[in-house]
């Protein structure tokens, strides 16, 4: 009974065949469109993470002064670290000074690893390869499911429109044939 629109029978109408094709096309587009969009999004995010990793590099730095012993309060998001002045030598031999987050109470001269960009500015560390893979995968799944849902909703709207059209065609046909049917059932000619 599930595939009745595809089998030839005297009760099947053209609108049934059209509806079957709409349903089939919708599901094909949901699966393929969602998969392609998800894969493209995952690749895009992964390439963005790779580009970010290529534009930053780690350097060894030292604290120039003792770090504050207590982090400031009331700043909203707080990771427990404090800002302190650090110094490092770039690969070209130039010495740079900037501020970076360090653990509270770290003494002057303590070594730490930080990340800089090509202009030797301190930047946030890039995400690890595992984190990038996870974020890329999750983005792909989210985009694939969102794309599939949007395509399914579009197919549902088209199918609903076709169903309303079919019902109005049946109403028109019944208005034309109904009086003849009543005459036939009441014994008239």
Question: What confidence tens digit (pLDDT) does each residue in 46-85 have?
Answer: 999 999 999 999 999 999 988 888 766 655 566 778 889 9
Q: Any idea where the domains of the chain sit in the sequence?
A: 13-51+131-185, 57-125
Name the band, by pLDDT with cuts 50, 70 and 90, for residue 6.
Answer: low
Name the band, by pLDDT with cuts 50, 70 and 90, for residue 30.
Answer: very high
Give me the pLDDT at residue 73, please: 67
**What is the longest distance spanned by two Cα atoms in the chain?**
110
The whole-model pTM stands at 0.69
**Phi, psi dihedrals of residue 108, rounded to the nearest 5°:** -60, 140
Give me the pLDDT at residue 74, please: 59
H/E run at residue 38: helix 14-55
Q: Of 41-45, 135-139, 160-164, which gets the smallest average pLDDT?
A: 160-164
Please give the share of the chain, as a percent, with pLDDT higher than 70: 87
Please give the share of the chain, as a percent, with pLDDT higher than 90: 48
Give me the pLDDT at residue 50, please: 93
Q: What is the mean pLDDT of residues 127-151?
A: 96
Mean pLDDT of the chain: 86
Residues contacting 67, CB < 8 A, separation 6+: 82, 84, 102, 103, 104, 105, 106, 107, 110
For residues 66 and 106, the answer to whether their CB atoms sit within 8 Å is yes
Nearest 5°: the CA angle 33, 35, 38 is 105
Cα gap 107→125, rounded to integer Å: 23
Give me the pLDDT at residue 66, please: 86
Give me the pLDDT at residue 14, please: 78
Name the band, by pLDDT with cuts 50, 70 and 90, for residue 29.
Answer: very high
């Amino acid at each position: 009974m599930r595939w009745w629109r595809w089998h030839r029978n005297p009760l099947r109408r053209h609108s049934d065949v059209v509806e079957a094709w709409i349903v089939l096309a919708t599901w094909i587009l949901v699966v393929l469109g969602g998969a392609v969009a998800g894969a493209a999004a995952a690749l895009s995010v992964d390439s963005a993470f790779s580009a970010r990793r290529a534009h930053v590099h780690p350097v060894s730095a030292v604290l120039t002064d003792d770090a504050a012993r207590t982090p400031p309060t009331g700043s909203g998001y707080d990771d427990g670290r404090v800002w302190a002045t650090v110094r490092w030598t770039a690969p070209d031999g130039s010495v740079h000074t900037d501020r970076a987050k360090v653990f509270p109470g770290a003494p002057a001269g303590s070594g730490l690893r930080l990340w800089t960009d090509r202009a030797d500015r301190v930047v946030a560390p890039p995400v690890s390869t595992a984190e990038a893979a996870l974020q890329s995968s999750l983005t792909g799944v989210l985009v694939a499911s969102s794309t599939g849902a949007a395509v399914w909703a579009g197919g549902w709207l088209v199918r609903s429109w076709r169903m309303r059209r079919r019902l109005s065609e049946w109403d028109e046909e019944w208005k034309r044939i109904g009086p003849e049917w009543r005459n036939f059932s009441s014994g008239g000619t």
